[in-house]
């Protein structure tokens, strides 16, 4: 095998990778084809649209007189991550879009000479709306927290959309679902091809939005908004509705030469399909796009006059007035206070940045109050940096002022500070959520502004009496994340087969329910988490599809699962270990959690052990319970009763040694002073302890 210089090998590898990703730059063709399959009437509507364009296109001289103004709303669907882009980045994207649609882009005159004379001026102007659908003041940007920002598709649009006959809807997300791998910059629906009015518009990966902030500023990334908007107003890829590079198709525009596509390169002399290709066309996939043709400009000017997808409603003068986008309209909106904490859980001694995320106006003053009831911080900085020395739940209040007014928001328990050592000296290895599981030192469910949905104690609904924890999820908005954090566990004495089991009950509301459960682990007060397990709605469903409130009524409605082996082993010798359960709503019903059981000195021999050392009957019991052993007992053994924190409450004496008779059992009497509740019966023999859960009624 010949030796390849390293630099060349590296270059080849990088080129191949980016080439692969570029195949998936835009998902419009795939989404439109999918819409045609599920809604065959849309294909007919698109054919009628193309027919109308063919017959009327010549009437529309682009850029000559009509300068269409189009009201825009940008919906930022975010999970408080990089996709929570700034107003400035959105403004930058619209600047690029407006330059490109008015032949004002600085590279328009750098088009290769063969195509310079064909550069078209579309003549559309995009303006952020200043009035929302209710006539209220807006800056034309909405911000919605949702897990649907990851691998987003049309479902993310359902979280926030404005009527398409009044606004051009643009959604910004973390990432777009890609069945073929690689990164998708965005996708659009051609006029009349959207599966529903509420999905009509374009969706963009935040990294392909503008040239600043999270965008890298490359030609390729910055022009995705231009490309997708071209689709929205009727332009096809120059090769039609197929994939880039798959052959010579037709885009129905006469001055765009046939091509099989410039898939992520910039070969200005590319010649496919028998002619020189317009590589620099915005609707191609080249890295050097800078133009629409005059024919494409005509097609879009015709498209904006069709009823297909209600495109002709957008620019009507009455609509510009209704959306506050008419010439000369000015308005100062009141701000909507919002903030983002760098971490929502941390150790005592941590310094956290809390960032202003006010929307709808640019604030000029900030007043913060951050308090756990005993310790209070105040600040007038925009983005205060707070060092938390005391543990507790901190409420955060932000009041902002802007030219258009003031606004205030308070989030209860916005930040949880845990003791850097132990919060919970009586760690519970087997937890059935009795006795106020959300009391201090036990379970924490950071508040989310999604009441009444989220974690709560579910009294009298349980696998193990008396409670379970429940996510009130029936009817929750899609993509909401409900977080539950465990007490602090000491794993320092645990080695060998570290294991955590749990029980859950869940029902879908429809076969399409897409709820998720994520389980993570941390040994630094939740400052960083390591994801250990993801369970899908199919994994979680322990009962059939239920549209009314799901309440498990028997143990058959529950399932169990565990984390074992290498999933937990790296934490085996650590202290202050916490588990995090994140439930993400996906249209399903309620979720219930019970019986957290961690292997250790007080874990029980539960049902997953095929050969427990002993069993209890009856259970629940009144005052008498019989222990039946699975093996012959040694001469010396002991049996005691423990509470769930591991405290020994009572030990039985005068138990006689050799138990070889049949049945191999002991009948024990529970002392009268032990109240009803959940306990552990412990058997100590041969240097090992075995536990079983006992419910005393
Ligand atoms: Zn495209």
pLDDT given for residue 548 in this prediction: 96
Distance, in Å, from the CA atom of 175 to the CA atom of 185, rounded to the nearest integer, reads 8
Whole-number Å distance, alpha carbon 77 to ligand 1 midpoint, is 21
Whole-number Å distance, alpha carbon 31 to ligand 1 midpoint, is 10
Min mean pLDDT across 195-209, 537-551, 655-669 is at: 655-669
Query: Average pLDDT in the 115-122 region?
Result: 95
The catalytic residue among 48, 55, 177, 228 is 228
Read off the pLDDT of residues 370-382 as tens digits, 9 standing for 90 and up.
999 999 999 999 9
Whole-number Å distance, alpha carbon 478 to ligand 1 midpoint, is 28
Instruction: List Cα–Cα distances, 90 to 212, 225, 226, 552, in angstroms.
Output: 9, 11, 13, 47
Read off the pLDDT of residues 150-202 as tens digits, 9 standing for 90 and up.
999 999 999 999 999 999 999 999 999 987 767 899 999 999 999 999 999 99
Residue pair 446/464 in contact by the 8 Å Cβ criterion: no
HSE (CB half, 13 Å, CA atoms) of 104?
A: 12
Min mean pLDDT across 161-165, 389-393, 653-657 is at: 653-657
Banded model confidence at residue 484, pLDDT cuts 50, 70, 90: very high
The DSSP secondary-structure symbol of 41 reads H
pLDDT given for residue 67 in this prediction: 82
pLDDT given for residue 665 in this prediction: 79
Whole-number Å distance, alpha carbon 220 to ligand 1 midpoint, is 12
Whole-number Å distance, alpha carbon 316 to ligand 1 midpoint, is 27
Whole-number Å distance, alpha carbon 14 to ligand 1 midpoint, is 23
Distance, in Å, from the CA atom of 529 to the CA atom of 6, rounded to the nearest integer, reads 38
Give me 404's structure tokens.
Answer: 């258009």
Cis, bond preceding 663 (omega within 30 deg of 0): yes
Tell me the backbone φ, ψ of residue 299, rounded to 5 degrees.
-60, -45
Residue pair 417/478 in contact by the 8 Å Cβ criterion: no
Read off the pLDDT of residues 488-512 as tens digits, 9 standing for 90 and up.
888 876 766 678 889 999 999 999 9
pLDDT given for residue 25 in this prediction: 82
pLDDT given for residue 495 in this prediction: 64
Residue pair 508/591 in contact by the 8 Å Cβ criterion: no
**Is it the case that residue 655 has pLDDT exceeding 70?**
no
Helix-helix angle 40-56:28-38, to 10 degrees = 120
Tell me the backbone φ, ψ of residue 257, rounded to 5 degrees.
-65, 150
Q: β-strands 275-276, 124-128: how paired?
A: unpaired
**CA nearest 143: which of 213, 71, 77?**
77
- Residue in the block written with tokens 């510009």: 320
What is the pLDDT of the chain when averaged over all its residues? 87
**Greatest mean pLDDT among 398-402, 498-502, 634-638:** 398-402
Gyration radius of the chain over CA positions = 32
pLDDT given for residue 632 in this prediction: 75
Whole-number Å distance, alpha carbon 237 to ligand 1 midpoint, is 6
Q: What is the per-residue DSSP string for 292-344?
A: -BHHHHHHHHHHTTS-GGGGGGTT-HHHHHHTT-STT----PPPB--EEES-S
pLDDT given for residue 125 in this prediction: 96
Q: β-strands 68-78, 141-145: how paired?
A: parallel
Instruction: List Cα–Cα distances, 340 to 12, 53, 84, 393, 397, in angstroms.
Output: 42, 48, 10, 16, 12
Residue pair 579/568 in contact by the 8 Å Cβ criterion: no
Min mean pLDDT across 432-436, 517-521, 549-553 is at: 432-436
Residue pair 90/336 in contact by the 8 Å Cβ criterion: no
Whole-number Å distance, alpha carbon 28 to ligand 1 midpoint, is 5
**Is it the case that residue 692 has pLDDT exceeding 70?**
yes
Give me 664's structure tokens.
Answer: 């191999």
Whole-number Å distance, alpha carbon 404 to ligand 1 midpoint, is 39
Whole-number Å distance, alpha carbon 29 to ligand 1 midpoint, is 7
Task: Look at residue 192 and give its three-state secondary structure.
Answer: coil
pLDDT given for residue 567 in this prediction: 86
Give me 236's structure tokens.
Answer: 């096809």
**Is it the case that residue 93 has pLDDT exceeding 60?**
yes
pLDDT given for residue 355 in this prediction: 94
Query: Average pLDDT in the 400-404 region?
Result: 95
Distance, in Å, from the CA atom of 344 to the CA atom of 347, rounded to the nearest integer, reads 10
Q: In terms of C-beta density within 10 A (0-12 exposed, 13-18 middle, 19 or more buried), how is residue 664 classed?
A: middle
pLDDT given for residue 19 in this prediction: 36
**Greatest mean pLDDT among 56-60, 409-413, 428-432:** 409-413
Q: Where are the beta strands (DSSP E) in 146-280?
A: 168-173, 186-188, 202-205, 271-272, 275-276
Whole-number Å distance, alpha carbon 662 to ligand 1 midpoint, is 78
Min mean pLDDT across 10-19, 286-295, 460-469, 519-528 is at: 10-19
Residue pair 234/312 in contact by the 8 Å Cβ criterion: no
Read off the pLDDT of residues 233-267 as tens digits, 9 standing for 90 and up.
999 999 998 888 888 988 999 999 999 999 888 99
**Greatest mean pLDDT among 330-344, 436-450, 633-647:** 330-344
Banded model confidence at residue 12, pLDDT cuts 50, 70, 90: very low
Query: Average pLDDT in the 538-545 region?
Result: 96
Residue pair 45/306 in contact by the 8 Å Cβ criterion: no
Instruction: List Cα–Cα distances, 14 to 17, 96, 180, in angstroms.
Output: 5, 28, 19
Whole-number Å distance, alpha carbon 231 to ligand 1 midpoint, is 7
Distance, in Å, from the CA atom of 429 to the CA atom of 603, rounded to the nearest integer, reads 6
HSE (CB half, 13 Å, CA atoms) of 219?
A: 19
Banded model confidence at residue 676, pLDDT cuts 50, 70, 90: confident
Q: β-strands 124-128, 68-78: how paired?
A: parallel
Q: In terms of C-beta density within 10 A (0-12 exposed, 13-18 middle, 19 or more buried), how is residue 446 classed?
A: buried
Rounded to two decimals, the pTM is: 0.81
Query: Average pLDDT in the 289-303 region?
Result: 95
Min mean pLDDT across 45-49, 85-89, 176-180, 455-459 is at: 176-180
Whole-number Å distance, alpha carbon 289 to ligand 1 midpoint, is 13
Query: Average pLDDT in the 128-153 region?
Result: 95
Q: What is the per-residue DSSP string for 252-269?
A: S-TTS---S--TT---TT
Whole-number Å distance, alpha carbon 283 to ligand 1 midpoint, is 6
Give me 126's structure tokens.
Answer: 């995009």
Read off the pLDDT of residues 558-608 as tens digits, 9 standing for 90 and up.
999 999 878 888 888 888 899 999 999 999 999 999 988 887 555 555 544
Q: How far is CA 106 from the centre of its chain?
A: 37
Q: What is the per-residue DSSP string for 536-582?
A: EHHHH--B---SSPP---SGGG-EEEEE-GGGTGGGTT-SSBEEEEE
Residue pair 676/434 in contact by the 8 Å Cβ criterion: no
- Residue in the block written with tokens 């439109």: 32
| Residue-level length of the chain | 697
The DSSP secondary-structure symbol of 476 reads P
Instruction: List Cα–Cα distances, 50 to 40, 196, 235, 360, in angstroms.
Output: 16, 19, 10, 39
Instruction: Look at 170 and 645; give whichever has higher pLDDT.
Output: 170
Read off the pLDDT of residues 548-562 as tens digits, 9 standing for 90 and up.
999 999 999 999 999
Query: Average pLDDT in the 660-678 region?
Result: 77
**Per-residue H/E/C for 369-430:** EEECCCCEEEECCCCCEEECCCCEEEEEEEEEEECCEEEEEEEEEEEEEECCCCCCCCCCCE
Residue pair 222/211 in contact by the 8 Å Cβ criterion: yes
Query: Average pLDDT in the 437-446 region?
Result: 83
Whole-number Å distance, alpha carbon 226 to ligand 1 midpoint, is 10
Tell me the backbone φ, ψ of residue 565, rounded to 5 degrees.
50, -130
Strand arrangement, sheet containing 637-642: 648-652, 637-642, 677-685, 688-696
Give me 118's structure tokens.
Answer: 């064909």
- Annotated active-site residue 83? The verdict is no
Helix-helix angle 87-101:224-232, to 10 degrees = 60
**Is it the case that residue 15 has pLDDT exceeding 50?**
no
Read off the pLDDT of residues 333-347 as tens digits, 9 standing for 90 and up.
999 999 999 899 999
Whole-number Å distance, alpha carbon 689 to ligand 1 midpoint, is 65
């Amino acid at each position: 095998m010949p030796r390849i210089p390293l630099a060349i090998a590296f270059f080849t590898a990088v080129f191949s990778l980016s080439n692969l990703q570029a195949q998936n730059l835009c998902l419009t063709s795939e989404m439109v084809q999918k819409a045609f399959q599920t809604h065959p009437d849309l294909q007919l509507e698109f054919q009628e649209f193309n027919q109308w364009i063919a017959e009327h296109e010549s009437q529309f001289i682009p850029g000559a007189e009509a300068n269409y103004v189009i009201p825009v709303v940008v919906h930022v669907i975010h999970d408080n991550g990089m996709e929570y882009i700034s107003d400035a980045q959105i403004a930058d994207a619209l600047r690029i879009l407006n330059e490109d649609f008015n032949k004002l882009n600085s590279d328009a005159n750098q088009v290769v000479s063969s195509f310079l004379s064909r550069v078209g001026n579309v003549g559309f102007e995009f303006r952020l709306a200043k009035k929302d659908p209710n006539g209220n003041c807006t800056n034309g940007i909405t911000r919605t927290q949702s897990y649907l920002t990851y691998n987003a598709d049309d479902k993310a649009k359902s979280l926030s959309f404005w009527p398409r006959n009044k606004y051009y809807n643009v959604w910004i997300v973390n990432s777009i679902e890609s069945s073929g791998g690689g990164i998708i910059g965005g996708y659009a629906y051609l006029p009349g091809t959207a599966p529903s009015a509420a999905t009509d518009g374009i969706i963009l990966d935040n990294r392909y939005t503008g040239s600043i902030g999270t965008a890298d500023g490359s030609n390729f990334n910055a022009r995705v908004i231009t490309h997708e908007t071209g689709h929205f107003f009727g332009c096809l890829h120059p090769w039609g509705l197929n994939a880039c590079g798959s052959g010579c198709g037709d885009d129905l525009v006469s001055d765009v030469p046939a091509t099989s596509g410039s898939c992520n390169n910039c070969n200005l002399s590319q010649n496919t399909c028998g002619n020189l290709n317009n590589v620099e066309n915005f609707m191609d996939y080249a890295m050097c796009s800078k133009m629409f043709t005059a024919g494409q400009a005509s097609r879009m000017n015709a498209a904006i006059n069709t009823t297909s997808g209600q495109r002709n409603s957008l620019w009507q003068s009455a609509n510009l007035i209704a959306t506050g986008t008419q010439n000369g309209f000015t308005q100062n909106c009141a701000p909507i206070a919002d903030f983002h904490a760098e971490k929502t859980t941390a150790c005592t001694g941590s310094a956290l940045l809390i960032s202003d995320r006010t929307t709808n106006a640019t604030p000029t003053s900030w007043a913060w109050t951050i308090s756990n009831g005993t310790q209070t911080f105040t600040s007038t900085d925009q983005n205060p940096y707070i060092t938390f020395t005391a543990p507790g739940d901190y409420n955060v209040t932000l009041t902002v002022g802007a030219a258009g007014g003031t606004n205030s928001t308070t989030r209860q328990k916005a930040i949880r500070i845990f003791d850097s050592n132990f919060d919970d000296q009586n760690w519970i290895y087997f937890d059935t959520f009795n006795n106020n599981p959300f009391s201090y030192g036990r379970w924490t469910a950071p508040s989310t502004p999604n009441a009444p949905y989220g974690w709560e104690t579910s009294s009298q609904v349980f696998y193990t009496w008396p409670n379970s924890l429940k996510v009130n999820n029936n009817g929750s908005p899609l993509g909401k994340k409900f977080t539950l954090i465990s007490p602090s566990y000491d794993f320092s004495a645990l080695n060998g087969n570290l294991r955590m089991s749990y029980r859950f009950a869940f029902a879908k509301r429809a076969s399409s329910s897409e709820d998720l459960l994520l389980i993570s682990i941390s040994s630094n007060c939740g400052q960083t988490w390591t994801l250990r397990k993801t369970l899908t709605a199919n994994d979680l469903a322990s009962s059939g599809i239920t549209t009314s409130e799901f309440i498990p009524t028997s143990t058959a409605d529950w399932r169990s699962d565990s984390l074992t082996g290498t999933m937990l082993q790296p934490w085996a010798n650590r202290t202050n270990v916490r588990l995090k359960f994140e439930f993400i709503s996906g249209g399903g019903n309620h979720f219930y959690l019970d019986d957290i059981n961690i292997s250790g000195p007080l874990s029980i021999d539960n049902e997953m052990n095929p050969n427990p050392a002993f069993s209890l009957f009856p259970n629940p019991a009144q005052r008498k319970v019989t222990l039946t052993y699975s093996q012959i007992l040694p001469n010396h053994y002991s049996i005691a009763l423990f509470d769930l924190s591991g405290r020994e409450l009572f030990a039985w004496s005068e138990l006689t040694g050799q138990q070889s008779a049949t049945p191999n059992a002991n009948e024990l009497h529970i002392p009268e002073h032990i109240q009803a509740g959940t306990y552990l019966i412990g058997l100590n023999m041969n240097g090992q302890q075995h536990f079983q859960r006992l419910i005393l009624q």
